[in-house]
DNA sequence: AATTCTAGCAACCGCACGTAC
DNA sequence: TGTACGTGCGGTTGCTAGAAT
């Protein structure tokens, strides 16, 4: 499949970008900059040439000055993006190699949607490329009913996450003792410690969860909504029918393992115990105990079934890393250096947004009679 | 041959951070 | 301390070629 939009590679111009190479007649949907309407849309080869020339002369950075000095009718962000993703030297073009794909999978399992960080591990590749690759991969695997990560990667990531969390915990405990010595509660409200203790007793961090294998947690992201989107209604009906055949046959062989996690929820109270939640389990606790379940705010469950690790919610982070204290600013945008793996977060999201309604309706299992109906209807 | 649908890609948008003033 | 600006990042959207029907 070839690229779309930009014709900068072969010099051809798309419909709305004729004649004027610098875009005088292009798409000016952008905001005005000093009265000059900025061009949007695909770059032309002429624009590329101008940008390359500019960077040669002035170097990278100060992108907003590009328009002033070069006459390009592009905003700084657009210039930066074009340079970073297409024009800068040493960019590797073409499909990812097997090694690169393997590396991306491993990196994603440990760091989540940190595309820029991942790109740093893949010389010549851009964050955008990796992001696109991953999103495509998700769709593909979702449709095929395959887990997002191979089992070996799952385990590795789990171990890595646990190691990471343990280090954090040790560090924070050490820091906590240090702080206690220093402060002896000087100025620190007791409620902070109470909350800390409460959160620690309520929820163990995920690797301590009993009876949950790494592979079962990893299966398709362990999203309660996963099975709802498993067979997207948007999917073309004919294609859906085609793939259902494949899926059902693969289910017959793999379902036992695949639904290991959900088997735990045959008995809801047992499930609650399994997660060490208060029980008898009240399916309505999401509304009754919003402070516990986080009200699903800012859920990282994406439409594509993936979990965004980029912006863990305050609750999510608090629940995952009860021994760490985060300020609100810490929780915005850039997380801690050792960000929780998406695998961990998957379970976390599940815990925060427990299934409501009947077990059968949200946790299909081979023993739930409605399963096949759900897939075939 | 025409139409529909999907995959892949490029680019945009909004948000957050860092820094200078 | 507050604000503006530049930059980086992640999510999303729109477009097109090619495959499927």
Q: What are the tens digits of pLDDT across the range A184-227?
A: 333 233 323 333 333 333 222 232 222 233 333 333 333 333 33
Answer whether any strand B atom is within 7 A of the Cβ of A8.
yes
Rounded distance in angstroms from the CA atom of residue A33 to the C1' atom of nucleotide B7: 36
Residue A281: what pLDDT? 33
Residue A299: what pLDDT? 31
Q: Is residue A236 one of the residues assigned to a domain?
A: yes
Statement to judge: residues A78 and A186 lie in one domain: no
Rounded distance in angstroms from the CA atom of residue A49 to the C1' atom of nucleotide B13: 25
Q: Is residue A266 one of the residues assigned to a domain?
A: yes
Query: What are A32's strand-pairing partners?
Result: A37
Q: Is residue A74 one of the residues assigned to a domain?
A: yes
Residue A350: what pLDDT? 38
| A118 touches A108 (CB < 8 A) | yes
Name the domain count of chain A: 2
Statement to judge: residues A355 and A231 lie in one domain: yes
Q: Is residue A132 one of the residues assigned to a domain?
A: no
Answer whether any strand B atom is within 7 A of the Cβ of A131.
yes
Q: Which structural domain range is residue A9 located in?
A: 1-89
A307 φ/ψ angles, rounded to the nearest 5 degrees = -115, 130
* Alpha-carbon gap, residue A346 to A268, rounded angstroms: 19
Q: Is residue A34 one of the residues assigned to a domain?
A: yes
Question: From the alpha carbon of A310, which nucleotide's C1' atom is closest?
Answer: C10
Of A299, A308, A289, the closest CA to residue A350 belongs to: A299
Residue A165: what pLDDT? 60
Residue ranges in chain A modelled with pLDDT below 50: 1-21, 23-26, 29-33, 178-377
Q: Is residue A313 one of the residues assigned to a domain?
A: yes
Statement to judge: residues A171 and A27 lie in one domain: no
């Amino acid at each position: 499949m070839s690229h779309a939009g930009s014709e900068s590679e072969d010099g051809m111009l798309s419909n709305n970008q004729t004649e004027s190479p610098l875009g005088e007649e292009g798409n000016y949907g952008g905001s005005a900059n000093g009265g000059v309407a900025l061009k949007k849309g695909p770059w032309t080869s002429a624009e590329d040439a101008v940008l390359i020339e500019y960077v040669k002369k002035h170097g990278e950075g100060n992108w907003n000055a590009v328009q002033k000095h070069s006459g390009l009718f592009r905003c700084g962000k657009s210039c930066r993006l074009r340079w970073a993703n297409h024009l800068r030297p040493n960019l590797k073009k073409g499909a990812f190699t097997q090694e690169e794909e393997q590396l991306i999978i491993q990196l994603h399992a440990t760091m989540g949607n940190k595309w820029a960080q991942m790109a740093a591990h893949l010389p010549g590749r851009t964050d955008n490329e990796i992001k696109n690759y991953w999103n495509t991969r998700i769709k593909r695997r979702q449709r095929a009913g395959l887990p997002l990560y191979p089992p070996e990667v799952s385990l590795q990531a789990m171990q890595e996450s646990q190691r990471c969390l343990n280090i954090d915990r040790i560090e924070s405990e050490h820091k906590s003792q240090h702080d206690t010595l220093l402060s002896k509660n000087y100025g620190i409200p007791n409620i902070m410690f109470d909350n800390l203790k409460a959160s620690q007793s309520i929820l163990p961090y995920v690797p301590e969860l009993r009876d949950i294998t790494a592979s079962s947690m990893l299966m398709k992201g362990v999203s309660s909504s996963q099975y709802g989107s498993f067979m997207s209604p948007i999917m073309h009906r004919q294609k859906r029918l085609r793939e259902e055949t494949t899926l059902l046959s693969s289910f017959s062989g793999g379902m036992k393992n695949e639904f290991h996690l959900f088997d735990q929820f045959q008995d809801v109270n047992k499930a609650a115990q399994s997660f060490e939640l208060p029980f008898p389990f009240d399916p309505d606790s999401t509304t009754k105990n919003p402070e516990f379940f986080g009200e699903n705010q800012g859920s990282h469950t994406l439409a594509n079934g993936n979990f965004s690790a980029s912006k863990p919610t305050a609750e999510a982070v608090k629940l995952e890393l009860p021994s760490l204290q985060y300020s609100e600013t810490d929780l915005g945008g850039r997380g801690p250096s050792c960000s929780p793996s998406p695998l961990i977060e998957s379970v976390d999201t599940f815990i925060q947004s427990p299934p409501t309604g009947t077990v059968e309706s949200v946790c299909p299992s081979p023993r739930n009679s409605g399963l096949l109906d759900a897939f075939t209807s």
